């Protein structure tokens, strides 16, 4: 897929190398006990499947749907759970797997929601982080790449449901 509006920001090779490092790091941090990866749909699904396969230990998976953005490129500030977990996380080690932390509104809200369910521990793994844009505090324990303030697509990230299946993370320039 070549598109004149797209510029590669993080290549597929860099993504895969970094995910192997993160998988090794998370595996070392959780040598025993149960571990749940909670994938935030839909953007994090590619990151989840690659990260889970980079793990050196067993990991359980579940999915959560959150809506913040409509077709706009900026957050409406409203967060809604559109699909909840199938499992109880009480007493479990949980890692939220997210594609990108932008304003922090989504993850700040989600940490609050999931904390009330009394997990044993909870951390965040995010492939991308745009720290300049932060409005709410979020501690990203496992961050793939910090990127500058540009709207990006690919490797799960979309614009109006397009471009998710690109191998690379690319900046989408306005037409
Ligand atoms: P936040 O609540 O502002 O941190 O937004 C987080 C969510 O917004 C992410 O899970 C993405 O779905 C979406 N998002 C933020 N920045 C981008 C971007 O550059 N491209 C695509 N989606 C983005
Ligand atoms: Mg998302």
pLDDT at residue 74 tops 60: no
The pLDDT score that the predictor gives to residue 140 is 97
Per-residue pLDDT reduced to its tens digit, 139-157: 999 999 999 999 999 999 9
Q: Which residue's CA is the nearest one to ligand 1's atom 9?
A: 100
22-60 pLDDT, tens digit each: 999 999 999 999 999 999 999 999 999 999 999 999 999
Which ligand 1 atom sits closest to the C-alpha of 79? 2
Residue 71 above 50 pLDDT?
Answer: no
Mutation probe of ligand 1 site: the residue of 68, 130, 148, 160 with most atoms within 8 A of C-beta: 68
Q: Across the chain, how many H-helices and E-strands are there?
A: 3, 9
Identify the sign of the CA torsion 62, 111, 165, 128: negative
pTM of the complete model: 0.93
Ligand 1 site, residue 151, Cβ cutoff 6 A: yes
Q: How many CB atoms lie within 10 A of CB 168?
A: 19
Q: Which domains does the chain have, with CATH numbers?
A: 6-27+37-66+79-172 (3.40.50.2020)
Residue nearest atom 12 in ligand 1 by C-alpha distance: 43
Tell me if 98 CB under 6 Å of ligand 1. yes
Percent of all residues in the chain with a pLDDT value above 90, rounded to a whole number: 87
Residues in Cβ contact with 74 at an 8 Å cutoff, skipping those fewer than 6 apart: none
Atom of ligand 1 lying closest to residue 159 CA: 21
Q: Cα(137)–Cα(152) distance, rounded to whole angstroms?
A: 21
| C-alpha 29 – ligand 2 centre gap (Å) | 25
């Amino acid at each position: 897929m070549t598109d004149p509006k797209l510029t590669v920001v993080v290549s597929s090779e860099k993504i895969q190398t970094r995910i192997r490092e993160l998988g090794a790091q998370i595996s070392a941090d959780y040598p025993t006990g149960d571990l749940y990866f909670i994938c935030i749909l839909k953007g994090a699904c590619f990151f989840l499947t690659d990260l889970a396969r980079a793990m050196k230990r067993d990991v359980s998976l579940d999915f959560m749907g959150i809506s913040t953005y409509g077709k706009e490129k900026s957050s409406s500030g409203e967060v809604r759970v559109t699909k909840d977990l199938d499992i109880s996380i009480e007493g479990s080690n949980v890692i939220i797997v997210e594609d990108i932390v932008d304003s922090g509104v989504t993850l700040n809200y989600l940490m609050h929601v999931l904390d009330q369910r009394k997990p044993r521990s909870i951390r965040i793994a995010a492939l991308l982080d745009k720290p300049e844009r932060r409005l709410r505090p979020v501690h990203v324990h496992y961050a793939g790449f910090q990127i500058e303030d540009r709207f990006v697509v690919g490797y799960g990230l979309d614009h109006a449901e397009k471009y998710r299946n690109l191998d690379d993370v690319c900046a989408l320039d306005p037409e």
